[in-house]
Amino acid sequence: MSAGTLVGPLEGGASFPAHLTARVITPGERPRVHGYDVEADLARHYQASDLLFLLLLGELPKAPVSRAFSVALMFLAPVSVAHASTHAAVVGRLCDAPSRSMFGVAAIGAAEHASSLLDEHRELLVWLLSPRGPLPERFRARDEADVAAVQRLTAALEPTGLSIPALAEGPSRDAALLMVLFAVGFTVRERLEAAIMLARLPSGIAEALAERPTNFGNYPINLPRFTYTEAQ
Amino acid sequence: MSLPELTHETRTAHWGWDEHRYFGHRVFEQLAGHESFTGLTVLSVLGRRLSSDECAIVDDAASTLTLADPRIWPLKLTRLIAAYGSTLPAAAAGLLSEEDARIGPWAMAKSAEMLLAFDAVIGSRVDEPETVRAIVQRYLGEHGFAWGFGTPFRGKDERLVAFRRCIRQRGRQELRFWRLMNAVSAAVAEQRAVEPNMGIATAAAFLDLGMTPHQVGSLTSALMQHMFLAHAVEGAKQGASLRELPAGYVEFDGHAPRSSPRAQEIGTGGA
């Protein structure tokens, strides 16, 4: 049968637009992001982290917010190979996957990692929207290392002059970072997820690129051990 | 420093010397030559084998689910990634878009959850239209939406018409969840004027095979991969044509040109 004779629900009846809609980035030779000229304006006056902020939230950050967001991205970025997200990217590299595929693995891992962090802090996000009462116990610093990390975060934020009262509640490192992102405008879960994922993605890629493809002899194949059971 | 021993249990597989294990089966002795590709896929998701008659229903579902026009959104997604020239990343992107999505095989998992919820309250009263009607009315009032209903751009789901024939031919039309689906469908059609689709039919048929909703979603996803692969293979061969739409095919509906605060301060750049 000639293809020209085939008809179905998409050939008649329902009507569809003839154009695709761009909502953030203007297509063409002179790109704008949310209205700002990237090449003549943003590239001259702003940092890459400001562009990320603009892309995700639609407005440019004022100076204190810009600095605080940059600090948060910095604290979020390092994800060692102990974490499954980075570990998976390294295994992709060991398998000699093409770099594009390994980057894809790292991106999936970073997205799942960010989503899992937010799942664990669902109750915190509710508390941040309406912080009545003390910070729930499970989001408090668990040990001295946690306390010290939050002190370093507070010190890094000090020059911004940004006031984040929730940080005085003794949060864990993860909770404190979410408090900072929340304070600079990331109040919607999927935007938070995007910021965390993008901050962490380079770690997975970098750790993977540092590994030698097919270096299986140096990879701990029995970490962890899997015990096979034939359950009923 | 002594480290804690890290061990995980797996029922999935073990690599031996001359024989391997897969879900309690010896691969060369018990699976090779005895189990079909569908049977292996079922074993992978359910952790148990189905009889060949039961696997035939899974095959029927896979065949009747084959609606693979490249304009359908998840397949279009695959096609777009394939435009860069690789096959498996494109197929993986399609696969990635499935879990918990409203479009695609996870609708079958949601439909299965809904059918189980109906089963819990309707039970053996599936032949009492008044009872079913009242329960469905309450459900629709609480949820506002029923998974597995509605067929975009057409009055009924032609895949379900074909799948019903398969179910009848295999004598499975009187099984518990298939009958429940029919009873619920009649009540939903009466109250919302929407027809059941292949999502709820697949869910019912697979629940009648003893699957959980998560298994329904996972297995249906596996059964639909041939469509993603088809577009990944063809799209990768076609190459660059989809990489960038020609000028004029994209309209901008966003913020008007503006100058940044810093550009305004120093009088450079801007709108």
- Helix/strand/coil (H, E, C) string of A113-131? HHHHHHHHCHHHHHHHHCC
Provide the residue range defining the domain that includes B57: 50-237
Residue B259: inside a domain? no
pLDDT of residue B168: 98
> What's the CATH number where B169 sits?
1.10.230.10
- Point out the least confidently predicted range of A3-17, B103-117, B130-144, B195-209: A3-17
Chain B nearest-CA distance from A152, in A, is: 28
The reply to whether residue A224 touches residue B257, judged by beta carbons under 8 angstroms, is: no
The reply to whether residue A19 touches residue B10, judged by beta carbons under 8 angstroms, is: no
Which residue in the set A13, A19, A62 is minimally distant from B250, CB to CB?
A19
pLDDT of residue B269: 58
pLDDT of residue B103: 86
Report the phi/psi class of residue B13: left, alpha or beta, with left for phi > 0 and alpha for psi in -120 to 50: beta
Question: What is the per-residue pLDDT across A134-173, written as a single tens digit (0 to 9) for each?
Answer: 999 999 999 999 999 999 999 999 999 999 999 999 999 9
pLDDT of residue A219: 96
pLDDT of residue A2: 57
Backbone angles phi, psi at A187, to 5 degrees: -105, -5
Backbone angles phi, psi at A33, to 5 degrees: -115, 120
Chain B nearest-CA distance from A129, in A, is: 26
What does each C-alpha distance from B141 to A187, B119, B126, B135, B136 come to in angstroms? 31, 18, 20, 10, 8
Question: What is the per-residue pLDDT across B220-260, written as a single tens digit (0 to 9) for each?
Answer: 999 999 999 999 999 999 977 889 999 899 999 999 999 99
Residue B121: inside a domain? yes
Question: What is the per-residue pLDDT across B36-93, written as a single tens digit (0 to 9) for each?
Answer: 999 999 999 999 999 999 999 999 999 999 999 999 999 999 999 999 999 999 999 9
The reply to whether residue A27 touches residue B250, judged by beta carbons under 8 angstroms, is: yes
Which residue in the set A10, A20, A37 is minimally distant from B249, CB to CB?
A20
Does A47 contact chain B (CB < 8 Å)? Answer: no
Q: B6 to chain A: which residues are within 8 Å by CB?
A: 223-225
The reply to whether residue B247 touches residue A231, judged by beta carbons under 8 angstroms, is: no
pLDDT of residue B110: 96
What is the distance of C-alpha B4 from the center of its chain?
Answer: 40
Q: Which chain B residue shows the shortest CA-CA distance from A228?
A: B10
- Overall pTM surpassing 0.90 (yes/no): yes
Alpha carbon distance A138, A121 (integer Å): 9
- The type of residue at A140 is R
- Count H helices and E strands in chain B, helices first: 12, 5
The reply to whether ipTM tops 0.95 is: no
- The answer to whether the CB of B140 falls within 8 A of the CB of B191 is yes
Interface of A with B in 72-101 (CB under 8 A): 98, 100-101
Tokens at residue B142, please?
A: 């609480």
- Tell me what the pLDDT averaged over chain B comes to: 95
Does A12 contact chain B (CB < 8 Å)? Answer: no
Tokens at residue B253, please?
A: 């509906």
Instruction: Measure the CA angle with vertex A45, ends A42 and A49; round to 5°.
Output: 70
Alpha carbon distance A135, A124 (integer Å): 8
- The domain locations on chain A are 22-60, 61-215
Q: Which long-range contacts (CB under 8 A, 24 or more apart) does B96-102 make?
A: B96/A108, B98/B74, B98/B221, B99/B217, B99/B221, B101/B74
Instruction: Measure the CA angle with vertex B43, ends B41 and B45; round to 5°.
Output: 70
Say what percent of chain A tops pLDDT 70: 97
Q: Which chain A residue shows the shortest CA-CA distance from B23?
A: A230
Question: What is the per-residue pLDDT across A87-146, written as a single tens digit (0 to 9) for each?
Answer: 999 999 999 999 999 999 999 999 999 999 999 999 999 999 998 899 999 999 999 999
- The answer to whether the CB of B160 falls within 8 A of the CB of B166 is no
Question: What is the per-residue pLDDT across A25-71, written as a single tens digit (0 to 9) for each?
Answer: 999 889 999 999 999 999 999 999 999 999 999 999 999 999 999 99
Q: Which long-range contacts (CB under 8 A, 24 or more apart) does A133-141 make?
A: A134/A169, A135/A166, A135/A169, A135/A170, A135/A171, A135/A175, A139/A171, A139/A172, A139/A175, A140/A169, A140/A170, A140/A171, A140/A172, A140/A175, A141/A170, A141/A171, A141/A172, A141/A173
Q: Which chain B residue shows the shortest CA-CA distance from A29?
A: B247
H/E element, A227: strand A225-228
Task: Say what angle helices B106-122 and B129-143 make with each other, to 10 degrees.
Answer: 130
pLDDT of residue A3: 62
Task: Say what angle helices B198-207 and B176-192 make with each other, to 10 degrees.
Answer: 150
Q: Which chain B residue shows the shortest CA-CA distance from A103?
A: B89
**B103: closest CA among B181, B188, B186, B198?**
B198
Mean pLDDT of A183-208: 98
Interface of A with B in 101-120 (CB under 8 A): 101, 104, 108
Q: Domain count of chain B?
A: 1
Does A222 contact chain B (CB < 8 Å)? Answer: no
* Residue burial A197-214, b: 16+ Cβ < 10 Å; e: rest: bbbbbebbbebbeebeee
Q: Which chain B residue shows the shortest CA-CA distance from A54?
A: B260
